[in-house]
Every structure is written in C-alpha cells, then in structure tokens.
C-alpha cells in the first residue's frame, strides 16, 4: 500500500512540475500568461513568441540591456563597436557588478567616472581595451578580463588553451575560478551589443519605416501593444537579405507572422523577418551577410505589403534603428537629416 501511495504522490509532483515548466517556458504558456495579464490589467513577464523559436544557444543574460539613446552619427569600426558595447553593458549592470571593471580602470589609468558617462564612456572603454590588448589579444578573452579581472581571466585563458580549445566567452566562463561565475554576464552583453552595431539592413536603404519600435495602437487588434520590431514599407517581392552571417533557426509560416525567418548570428544576437511572400533558405542553412533569404510580402496578420524586421539580444527585442547611423536612419524614414 505504501509504495503505491508514494508512487501516486511522485506522479502528482511530476505533473505539477510539468505544468509549471509549460506555463513558464513554452509558447502556449506565454499565451496563457499574456491572456491572464490582459484580463487582470497587470503586466506580463512572458517573452515575445518569436523568442521561443529562435534556437538561441547563447548565454542567458539576467541584467537589463541598455541601447544607445539615439542613432549614432557615423558607422563604427570594430574597435569602436566593442567599446560602445562595453560602455552600454557596464551601464546596464548594478553597482556591485560594475566594481571589478571600475577598479581595473583606475588601476590602468582610465577614469572610472568617464566609463559611465554618455559622452565620454565609449572613448574611455576604447582606452581600457587598448591597455589590455597585449595580454588579452582576443575580444572575448579581453572582455572576460574586463568584467572578471585580469587574474581570473588569465587563469581561465590558460585552462582553455591547455585543453586545446578556442577561447570563446562560453569556454572562458566555464573555467573561471569559483565566485566569478556571474562576471561573464557583462562580457556577454558587451559582445552582443557590439555585434548589433555591425549589422547591415535587410532591404534597400531607402525603405520607409512605416511603424517604428515601441508601444503602438495595433492596426488589426485595435489595442495598445508593444511593437517589437520595425515595419519597412516595401512592395511585395522586394529582396530581403541577411544582415550578417548566421544560421537559419526558423523558416516556417503561421497566422500571425506569415512566412517568417529567424537567423542566429551568434554572440546572443538573432534577427527575424516576417510577412514574406517567399522564403528561399531552409532551417539549418548557413547564410552570409547580404545573401538573399526571402522576398517580402503581405502574409500573416498584416494590413499591407511590408517587412517586419526584429532584432533580439539574448531573447530581448531591441530597437534596430538605435544601432544604425543617424543619416541612414533619417533616409529610411523619409526624413531630411
């Protein structure tokens, strides 16, 4: 009798655990959570549905991501993009998590106050990277040194090198000494932000932004909802290209997004392309920057021909226009800079 009751209790506990996991970690659960939030007038913590299909394998970032306050004045070099990513990642961390970076900056003669300043921060971060480049030539090793400290980073780098592996951020994080596990969060954020600055545009530069990123009155549902990308007004059949090299994680069709593609660019960066008339790549395929991946259309929940373009960093939607230059952004919106 007792084993039977114990088995019944175990089955009940497993069923509850499965329901909890489905509620918090599946698209169906996300729909239920959003519906409950709408009914009760509260705010839902469920991720956008596209985030469940992007196939990301990057680091999960627990701290908020900070985007540039406005589009940049000019395109960035790789070194400048990394400096901007470092500055923005540092601003997104809490006071305690910033301390190793600020202490290292003081030690290397870089103003810790300047690192957090909106105007001086990127230049200060660039100086910090230059000071570490001789000892940590790779971007990911150098970011580990920045956010964890030089001694822990050197230890992790030696361990990874001894095993014959490439010193990626993920491998370095796995070799950090006890107590430094959380230091990779800031480094992963910086790398994702830097990668976003280097993305191209999915359609021609002159395409008008018909609906920007942010909260808006939904054109079909008639309620205020968060618009997690930008709508680019282009005729059906317009060429849609990959904004950077990556792997196709999703190539399918549904009633909301129409024919949709999701590309994984690595370093926690994914992009999505919705409402296409035709998809010309398949799941698992490797694509290069500028390669034709789809033709725009009017499929799914759409009120007219356009491309919905979405940028996500660690499953968090970000405004793609913030990572472009002011001149190109103005041209895309049909404005005079």
Tens digits of per-residue pLDDT, 158-185? 999 999 889 999 999 999 988 776 778 8
Give residue 74's pLDDT: 79
Indicate if the pLDDT at residue 47 is higher than 90. no
pLDDT in tens, 228-252: 899 999 999 999 999 999 999 999 9
- Name every residue whose Cβ is closer than 8 Å to that of residue 265 and which is 6 or more positions away in sequence: 195, 199, 243, 244, 245, 246, 271
Q: Span 5-18, mean pLDDT?
A: 66
54 vs 307, higher pLDDT: 307
pLDDT in tens, 312-328: 998 889 999 999 876 56
Distance CA 44, CA 156 (A): 39
Nearest to 275 by CA among 335, 327, 230, 322: 230
CATH of 208-332 among 3.90.79.10, 2.70.70.10, 2.40.128.90, 1.10.3720.10: 2.70.70.10
241 vs 213, higher pLDDT: 241
pLDDT in tens, 243-301: 999 999 999 999 999 999 999 999 999 999 999 999 999 999 999 999 999 999 999 98
Burial group, residue 291, by CB count within 10 angstroms (0-12, 13-18, 19+) = middle
Contact present, 260 and 228 (Cβ < 8 Å): no
Indicate if the pLDDT at residue 23 is higher than 80. no
Give residue 209's pLDDT: 93
Indicate if the pLDDT at residue 222 is higher than 70. no
- Each domain of the chain, given as residue ranges in start order, spans 78-197, 208-332
131 vs 330, higher pLDDT: 131
């Amino acid at each position: 009798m007792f084993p039977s009751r114990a088995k019944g209790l175990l089955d009940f506990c497993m069923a509850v655990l499965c329901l909890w996991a489905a509620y918090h970690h599946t698209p169906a659960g996300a729909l239920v959570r959003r519906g409950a939030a709408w009914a009760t007038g509260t705010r839902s913590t469920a991720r956008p549905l596209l985030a469940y299909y992007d196939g990301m394998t990057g680091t999960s970032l627990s701290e908020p991501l900070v985007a540039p306050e406005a589009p940049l004045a000019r395109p960035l070099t790789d070194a400048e993009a990394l400096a901007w990513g470092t500055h923005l990642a540092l601003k997104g961390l809490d006071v305690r998590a910033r301390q190793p970076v600020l202490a290292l900056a003081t030690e290397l003669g870089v103003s810790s106050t300047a690192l957090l300043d909106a105007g001086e921060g990127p230049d200060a971060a660039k100086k910090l990277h230059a000071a570490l480049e001789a000892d940590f030539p790779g971007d990911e090793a150098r970011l580990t040194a920045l956010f964890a400290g030089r001694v822990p980073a050197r230890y992790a780098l030696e361990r990874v090198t001894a095993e014959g592996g490439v010193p990626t951020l993920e491998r370095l994080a796995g070799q950090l000494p006890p107590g430094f596990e959380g230091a990779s969060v800031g480094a992963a954020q910086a790398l994702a932000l830097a990668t976003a600055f280097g993305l191209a545009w999915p359609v021609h530069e002159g395409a008008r932004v018909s609906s920007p990123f942010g909260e808006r009155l939904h054109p079909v549902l008639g309620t205020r909802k968060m618009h997690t990308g930008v709508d680019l007004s282009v005729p059906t059949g317009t060429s849609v290209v990959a904004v950077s090299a990556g792997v196709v994680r999703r190539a399918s069709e549904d009633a909301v997004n129409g024919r949709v593609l999701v590309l994984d660019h690595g370093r926690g960066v994914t992009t999505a392309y919705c409402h296409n008339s035709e998809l010309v790549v398949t799941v698992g395929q490797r694509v290069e920057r500028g390669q034709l991946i789809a033709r725009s259309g009017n499929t799914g929940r759409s009120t007219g021909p356009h491309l919905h373009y979405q940028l996500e960093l660690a499953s968090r939607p970000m405004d793609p226009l913030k990572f472009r230059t002011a001149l190109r952004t103005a041209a895309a919106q049909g404005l005079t800079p």
